[in-house]
Amino acid sequence: MQSLAESLHKPTEKEQQEEQRRHDAAVQIQNAWRKRMREKYLGPDFLWSDLVIHARTKVDRDAAEEGRNTSRDRWRRSIFLAGRLQDGDEMLSKGENTHPEAARKHLETQHWLELIDG
């Protein structure tokens, strides 16, 4: 617990300026980091491929709801969805399950394969 003297201490103008400089530096570093991550993960190639994947998913879902459920259509949808589990996944491309999410992703893949196989 703070003593009475510490709780009544008002920062000097120099301390306030130093604190403001630290705050501004932290904000600048955070903005630079966010910009770098945004460019890395949301570049034009990623946005187009993501758009194509979402469009295909919507078309497949609509087809299933409309009753186009021949065995060929179900297999085509299953193959696409199972392929999406490992599509460009950086976690699994390293070759080792060192990332904490990699084990969960591997389990998802096994479940999908069992679903298709069964």
Residues 52-81: pLDDT tens digits? 888 998 998 898 888 888 888 888 888 888
Q: Phi, psi at residue 46, to the nearest 5°?
A: -65, -45
Higher pLDDT, 9 or 58: 58
**R_g of the chain computed on alpha carbons:** 26
CA gap 75, 53 in Å, rounded: 17
Q: What is the pTM of this model?
A: 0.41
Q: Identity (one letter) of the amino acid at 66?
A: E
Question: Which DSSP helix (H) or strand (E) runs through 7?
Answer: helix 4-8
